[in-house]
Amino acid sequence: MLFFASRRLQSALMLLIVTGPLFACASRPESGYLTPVAGSSSVTSEHTILVATTRERDMRPGTLFNGERTSSLDHASITVSVPPTHVPGKVELASTAPGKPESSFVVRDAAYIDGDQAFIQSLNAQLAQRPPGSRRVLLFIHGYNTMFAEGLYRFTQVVHDSKAVAVPVLFTWASRGKVSEYVYDNNSATAARDDLEHTLRLILASNAEEVNILAHSMGNWVAVEAFRQIKISGNLENTGKIGSVFLASPDIDLDVFKTQMRRIGRPDKPVYIVISKDDVALGFSKFIAGGQVRVGDATNAQELADLGVTVIDLTNLEGDDAANHAKFAQLATVGPELGKVLGKGLGQSTAQRQQTAGGTLGAILGAPIRIIAGQ
C-beta neighbour count of 61 within 10 angstroms: 12
DSSP string, 201-268: HHHHTTT-SEEEEEEETTHHHHHHHHHHHHHHH---TTGGGEEEEEEES--SBHHHHHHHHHHH-S-S
pLDDT of 360 reads 54
Which residue ranges of the chain lie beneath pLDDT 50? 1-22, 24-26, 346-356, 364
DSSP assigned state of 163: T
| Residues forming beta bridges with residue 53, ordered by sequence position | 74, 172
Q: Give the residue numbers spanning the domain of 262.
A: 2-372
Beta bridge partners of 216: 248
Structural domains in the chain (count)? 1
Summarize pLDDT for 237-265 with one digit per residue, the tens: 999 999 999 999 999 999 999 999 999 99
The torsion region of residue 96 among left (phi > 0), alpha (psi -120 to 50) and beta comes to: beta
Burial class (CB in 10 A: 0-12, 13-18, 19+), 322: middle
Query: Positive or negative CA dihedral for 7, 9, 14, 15?
Result: positive
Q: Dump strand ranges (E) for the chain.
A: 45-58, 64-82, 106-113, 136-141, 167-172, 210-216, 242-248, 271-275, 310-313, 355-356, 370-372
CATH number of the domain within which 171 lies: 3.40.50.1820
